[in-house]
Amino acid sequence: MKIYEFAANPSSRRVGIFLKELGVEVDRVQLNVREGANLNAEYQEKSVNGKVPMLELDDGTCISETIAICRFFAEKHNDTSLFGTTPEEKGLVEMWQRIVEFDGLYAGFQAFRNLSGVYSDRERCVPAWGEESKRRVEEFLPKLDKQLSRNDYVAGDKLSVADITGFLFVGVVCEKALEIKALEAYPHIQAWYDKLSQRAAFQ
Ligand SMILES: N[C@@H](CCC(=O)N[C@@H](CS)C(=O)NCC(=O)O)C(=O)O
């Protein structure tokens, strides 16, 4: 089995952190998606969304989508704790994972892709959508800060997959790609981010 990834990119890093927290090692194949290494017919045939990360199993089954890959390994290794343990925890983790991914990370992806034109060789870029998406990111940050003012982690008092999504959203998408100073502006996000940064898997 192997994972196709572009190690520097947030989606690949989400899987990487998840696997480190789980203590699982998997072979990796680097695809430089910025240079279009994912665009050839062979990869596009294997991958439903055409992107990285993608997990290819030994029987040829291919699983795309970050959370689907994380779910596969959690189930395979009988440790689904990062998705919550009790029914209540599972519901809250699922809710926050989706909120941070849709309202934070993906809005940030849309902002970066449409404003920078980094993938203009493969998609139509709409700068106005980029601007709107960036505003949505800015509007989401106080909600995340409020949640972290009341909880140690995004979905409550335990580390979960929602923290991994949030960590890449804040550190890579906000701070680096969009130059939004989330850490400076939001003390609870800053404290949570510092705490996660100290974990070996997040370094
Ligand atoms: N929903 C997908 C998003 C994956 C994604 O956006 N991957 C980016 C890198 S972070 C990519 O492959 N970009 C290359 C492209 O769009 O052609 C997931 O969660 O896995």
CB 54 within 8 A of CB 3: yes
Tell which atom from ligand 1 comes closest to the C-alpha of 109. 6
**Hey, where are the domains in the chain?**
2-79, 82-202
Is the CB of 51 inside a 6 Å radius of any atom of ligand 1? Answer: yes
Is the CB of 11 inside a 6 Å radius of any atom of ligand 1? Answer: yes
Share of the chain above pLDDT 90, in %: 100
Q: Does domain 2-79 have CATH number 3.90.79.10?
A: no
**How many A from CA of 9 to the centre of ligand 1?**
8
Task: Give residue 168's pLDDT.
Answer: 98
CATH number for 82-202: choose from 1.20.1050.10, 3.30.67.10, 2.40.10.10, 3.40.50.2300.
Answer: 1.20.1050.10
Task: Give residue 190's pLDDT.
Answer: 98
Q: What is the mean pLDDT of residues 68-82?
A: 98
Q: What is the mean pLDDT of residues 56-63?
A: 98
Task: Give residue 48's pLDDT.
Answer: 97
Please, which pLDDT band fits residue 52 given cuts at 50, 70 and 90?
Answer: very high
Residues 5-43 have pLDDT tens digits of: 999 999 999 999 999 999 999 999 999 999 999 999 999
Tell which atom from ligand 1 comes closest to the C-alpha of 67. 19
User: How far apart, in whole angstroms, are the C-alpha atoms of residue 194 and residue 114?
Assistant: 30
Q: Indicate the top mutation candidate among 35, 52, 70, 116 to test ligand 1's pocket, ranked by most ligand atoms within 8 A of CB.
A: 52
User: How far apart, in whole angstroms, are the C-alpha atoms of residue 97 and residue 90?
Assistant: 10
Tell which atom from ligand 1 comes closest to the C-alpha of 9. 10
**SS3 track for 80-141:** CHHHCCCHHHHHHHHHHHHHHHHHHHHHHHHHHHHHHCCCCCCCCCCHHHHHHHHHHHHHHH
Which residue minimizes the CA distance to atom 20 of ligand 1?
Answer: 65
**How many A from CA of 53 to the centre of ligand 1?**
7
Please, which pLDDT band fits residue 202 given cuts at 50, 70 and 90?
Answer: very high
